[in-house]
Structures are given as C-alpha cells and as structure tokens.
Chains A and B, each alone.
Chain A
Amino acid sequence: MTSLAHTWHMTGRHLRNFSRQPWYIAFSLVQPVIYLLLFGALFKRVVELPGFATTSYVTYLTPGIVVMSALFSGGWLGVSVITDLERGVLDRFLVSPVWRGALIIGRVLQTALVTVIQSLILIGLGLLVGARFAGGAAQLVALIAAAMLLTAIFGALSCAVALALRKEESIIGVVQFLLLPLTFLSSVFMAPALMPGWMRQLARVNPLNWAVELGRAQPTAGDGSLLLSRGVALLALAAVATWLATRALRAYQRSL
C-alpha cells in the first residue's frame, strides 16, 4: 500500500512539474511531425511496391511515427534523473523511507501519460493528411497502449543508464547514438519485405518494431494472436526494464 501511495505521489510530482511547461509537448513533437509530413510526402509512391498491405503511405507511416515519438520521449527520460541527482533531490528522497521503485515508476508513468497526448496529436495530424485506421477505435487503443509500453521500456532503461553514467553529456551521447538506428532498424518507414535480409532480422528483435506491428494490427480482422504476443512481450520488457532501473538506483546508493 505504501508503495502504491508513494508511486502515486511521485507521479503527481512529475505531472505537476510537467504541467508548468506544457510547451514541452510542442517542442517534443517537432521532429516526429517533420518525419510524418516530409517522409509521408517524399515516399508517397513507395506503397506501389509489393510488400505494403496498404495503398496509402501516410496510413502506413502514422502508427510508425507515433511509436517513434514514444521511443524518443522514453529515451530522454534519464536526463530528468541526472537533474534530480545534481540538485540533490534524489539523495533527499533516498534518505527518506520512500519506496525506491516509486522514484523510477513515478517518472515512467508521467512520461507514458505524456506519450498519450503526443500520440493523440500525431494521430489527429495523420488523419488530416489522409491516414486511415481500418481497425477503428480498437486499433487506436492498441496503438496508444503500444506507444505507452515502449515509452515505459526505454524510459526505465534510460533511467538505468543515467544512474550508471551520472553525467548529462554521457546520457545524451548514448541516447543520440541509439535513437535513430533503433528507428530505422524497424518497419516504421519501410515494409519488412522490402528490407535487406540482415535488417529484417534485426528488426525482428527490436522492441520498437513489436510496438509498430501492434499499432498496425487490425484487432477486428484476425490479428488477435499478433496483438497478444507483441503485447505480452512489451509488457514483460517494461517490467524487466523497471526492475533494472531500480537495481541501478540501489547500485548508485551503494557507491555513495
């Protein structure tokens, strides 16, 4: 019960601080929007190649961009850990009886909730430029859930890396290095059938790709088993990543 209450209070802290800088949402969406509009236009005719299940590239691309945006949000979460660490806020909490998990889960939950807002904006924009969701509301719910889980996975991992490196420049370097390769080694922009073999193999083990597959699945058209397997995998990974980040927090304290 205490752990739940502490998680609730910590989530509240991050949500409140976030609500003081709502323009962050606009800032964070610049890159995904550019990808959605420019790539959407640039590769408009790529769907004429065999391998795409749709005839509209923005329909194919929009779930991918939603998931990519979720990856970016999660990836940068570690920076907030560094900020708390440098301000002494983290040590203050560690001297208190706060449940350690809440220090990780609170910020992961907040970021996942921000992902919901970002996803809704990107979906709306996608609809405006012609994207269609054949699976209807059920598909949108699955897409947003996948985006939240992906944020949680990479958010927790980012916290773990931040606690290990403890320097803002280091975490920025690591995240910069990983985000784009993770995005391109997936079916965000391109149908797997059209990828080189080695890329397709890597995409298969890329959690980002699981989330994209989940977001494109048609719950009402027999994609149930795909939804289930990808959903369970993402959920399990989110749990493992959160556990890892909590371990990293303990390792940080042991080094003091």
Chain B
Amino acid sequence: MAIQTRPQAGGATAAPPELAITAHDLVKTYRGGIRALDGLSLAVEAGTIFALLGPNGAGKSTTVRILTTLARPDAGSARVAGYDVVAQPDRVRRAIGYVSQKSAVDPEATGRENLTLQGRIYGLRGRELRQRVAELLERMGLADAADRVAGTYSGGMQRKLDILMGLIHRPRVLFLDEPTTGLDPEARAELWAEIARLAREEHLTVLLTTHYLEEADRLAHRLAIVDRGRTVVEGTPEQLKGELQGHTIRIELAAAVAEPRIQAALAPLPGLREVSLRDGAIYARADSGGAAIPAVLAALEASGVPVAAATVARPSLDDVYLRYVGRALDAATGKETGR
C-alpha cells in the first residue's frame, strides 16, 4: 500500500501531502454473488494523475462507480475531495467530474447543447456559462463541430465531448473510466496529450482506469495494479519498474522445447531469476543482462536448445504486471492471456 504520510525529518512541520481520494477496504458484491471488489484500498494525492490498471472485471469500473457516488459499497469507506461518498454524496457530486466507460453524450443534442445543459445542472448561467462552453470546445478542437448534433460525431470527438462534460464545472477531481478504449492509436495519443494538459491547466486530481499499460505509463504519476477486486501493488511507474532490478532477457527459440528442459539447463546459472517460457520465448531476469547473456546462450547450446534471437531490455510495466498478477495483460483487448 501507499505510504500516505511520511514522517518529516528533524521535526519539521511541513504539511503532509493533501489526499484528494482515499478508499479503505471497499467491498462490493453484485447479485449472483459476483464479488467485484474484495477489500480494495487506495490513496491519491491532490493534483496528481493516478491510474488503476487491470484486466476487464478486475473491479476498476466498480471502484469508480463507488467513488463517484453512482454505486454504494457493501463495506468499507471512501472520501473524495474531503467528503464521504456514502454520507455526503451531494458534496462529492459537486466536487467531481465523471467520464464513464461508454460515451454518455446525448446524440440528439449538439455538442454545445450537451455542454450547456451539463453546466446548468451545476448552476452555471448566462455569459459565464456561454464563455466556459466556448472556451472548452475551442480547447478540445470541437469548436467547428459545436453546433452539429453529437450523433454525427466520430468516436474520438464524442469522447472529447464526454471529457469536456466532466470538466464544465471546474471539478477538483476528475474520474476517467477507460477514456481511450475503442479509439484508434492516433486518437488515443491525441487524447493522452489533452488529458495531461487539461489536468495541469485545471489543477485537477485525475483517477483514470485503463487496461493499456502504455496509457498508465505515459499519463500517471502513480498507479495501482488491480486484480480480482484488490490492489495488488501501488507506486510510481518508475518505482514499480525499478523494483524489478536489472534487465529482462528474452530468448526466442527456433523450435518448441518443453519448459522443464529449459529450467534444468538454466538452473545452475547464478544471478538468473524468474525463468519462464511463454509464446515460444524464454523470459528471465538478471542484474546485468549483458553479462548474463553469454552464459545463458552457452548453457542452452550445451543442452541442445535451438536459439533464434536474444534481446536484453529494461523492465516494462508489462513485466511488472506479469510479476504481480502472474498473468500477462493483453493490451489490445484487456483480456488476460494465459502463460
């Protein structure tokens, strides 16, 4: 779990970082006994972008639904922007913006009308509202399409409008539930840039869920890997990758070989850890990949294992995910893939 407050050295009285979101032991069971959340906890510092990373069904959306007051937890507690999500839902609602997993634009209204109505709900009026709407549409590049019915927008444009609707009332905390799922890579990269810029300009705390490792790596200051309704590990992307010391070695095999034979061949090598075989390649970790490779290749050759190629890489979030969840995350579909 995250360290929420660090003791200050020398008795200095610097304030601990302000937490915009805290959740403790959230539990949620749906009808039919499906346990979506099983004691999930997290803490997000104000002004940062935090990512919940995990496969479909891990409990990410349920967490967001509880933190945004849409759903209620069966047990546990959570505070957002200083307010309790169960006891003070109205206070929470005024302080947050929410962009759901599925687009929630009204396709029969124009972009401007969608935004204007959303603003009015929060009490914005008159000139102030008109200016805010125009300014947001301009910033997301939707100004030209503003008076077209949103049903005619592309998926990427609808997603942008969704995000603007979450921002219209200048919330302190913004929840983005899989903001780029279903977008093509170009639209996705564009939206990442927009989200990062808006978060900075609007001094937002952002909690986003994703099953794209790259998205978490690119956007998030901190991330938590969620699996089966619990937080498995939490930290900055750099910390998490750093915990996997050294390098990842990948040896592509020229022909299929049984895993026990590989384990037997590589077991005697000192400094080689977490040896595994998946998709026709050997994966292992070593403090220094460059130093380990000659011994690995020699051992494989001695055992008659045919090698096609060998690479050494710094650990990626993929490796982090694999290590903590024990399964690989297929970023294209968000589905777990067996080893």
Contacts and interface: CB of A to CB of B under 8 A. Distances in A.
Interface string A217-256: 0000000000000000000000000000000000001111
Contacts of A17: 106, 108-109
Question: Top 10 A-B pairs ranked by shortest CB distance?
Answer: A88-B104, A92-B104, A256-B71, A17-B108, A95-B98, A97-B93, A88-B102, A98-B121, A9-B120, A96-B121
A88 B105 CA distance: 8
Contact of A96 (B31, B103, B106, B118): B118
Interface of B: 31, 65, 68-72, 90, 93-94, 96, 98, 100, 102-109, 113, 117-118, 120-123, 149, 165
Contacts of B103: 87-88
Given A20-B149, A97-B94, A256-B70, A91 B104 contact: yes
Contact of B121 (A6, A16, A91, A256): A6
A5 interface: yes
A138 interface: no
Contacts of B108: 17, 20
Nearest to A87: B104
Given A16-B109, A20-B149, A9 B117 contact: yes
Contacts of A256: 65, 70-71
Given A13-B109, A16-B113, A97-B90, 12 more contacts: A12-B117, A13-B113, A17-B109, A20-B149, A87-B105, A91-B70, A92-B165, A94-B70, A95-B93, A96-B121, A97-B121, A256-B70
- Judged by DSSP, the binding face of A is helix
Interface string A107-118: 000000000000
A89 interface: yes
Contacts, number: 64
B94 A92 contact: no
A93 interface: yes
26 contacts: A2-B123, A6-B121, A9-B121, A13-B106, A13-B109, A13-B113, A16-B109, A17-B106, A87-B102, A87-B104, A87-B105, A88-B103, A88-B104, A89-B105, A91-B104, A92-B98, A94-B70, A95-B68, A95-B69, A95-B93, A95-B96, A97-B94, A97-B122, A98-B121, A253-B71, A256-B71
Contacts of B104: 87-89, 91-92
Contacts of B71: 253, 256
Contacts of B90: 97
Contact of B100 (A12, A91, A97): A91
The winner among A17, A88, A95 for most chain B CB atoms within 10 A is A95
Contacts of B121: 6, 9, 93, 96-98
B100 A92 contact: yes
A12 B120 CA distance: 12
Contacts of A94: 70
Contacts of A20: 108, 149
Max chain B CB contacts within 10 Å: which of A6, A12, A97, A254?
A97
A93 B165 CA distance: 11
